[in-house]
Every structure is written in structure tokens, then in C-alpha cells.
Amino acid sequence: MKMPKEKRTYCPKCRRHTLHQVQKARKRKASELKAGQRQFRRVLAGYGGFPRALPSGAKPTKKVALVLQCKECKKSRTVKGFRVKTLELEG
């Protein structure tokens, strides 16, 4: 799917439609201090295999979230993800 790098849409801070810069949201490194990650590391330690089976029928596409940054006030916000095989930002 092709999408422009700039998009005119509503900015909640400016409270009007302004030009926004569009970027693909990137996943950050997971924190090792979260409770779920600590439990995962504890189960993984020592003898034994992987604690759970990996999903066999994985979905053919991933959800892509977009980050919109207002050109006027520089406020960023993410928009809900949608399914697409490839996202190409152009323009």
C-alpha cells in the first residue's frame, strides 16, 4: 500500500486540520523488569524446553500503526493499526 509522507488531518492540540508528517510506528525494546518478562525468564532458566508452543497458523499480514506529527505544534500521536502486507511512504 502506498501512502503519502504528509497528510492533512485533525490535530487535537491545535483543534483544527493541519499538515502532519506520517511515519511508521516502530516497536521499542521490551523492558526486562516487567512482571511477564520476569516470569518468562524464570520459566526459561534451567532445564526444559521453550515454555509454550509457538502459533502454527500465523496471520499473513501484520498490523501497522502510524505516527502523525503536526507540522505546526510538533505534537505526535499514533493512529490505530490496520492490516497491510507492505506500507510504502512516498512523496
Note the Cα 18 to chain centre separation in Å.
23
CATH class assigned to 1-27+61-91: alpha beta
Task: Kindly provide the residue ranges of all beta strands, DSSP E only, lying in 1-91, ordered along the sequence.
Answer: 2-4, 6-11, 16-24, 62-70, 76-84, 88-90
Tens-digit pLDDT string for the chain (91 aa): 999 999 999 999 999 999 999 999 998 898 999 999 999 999 999 888 888 887 777 788 989 999 999 999 999 999 999 999 999 999 8
Which backbone phi and psi does 85 adopt, to 5 degrees? -70, -55
If you search the block for the grid coordinates 506500507, which residue do you land on? 87
Q: What residue ranges do the domains of the chain occupy?
A: 1-27+61-91
Q: What is the pLDDT of residue 55?
A: 79
The pTM score is 0.74
Report the DSSP beta bridge partners of residue 2.
Answer: 88
- 8 A C-beta contact, residue 17 and residue 81: no
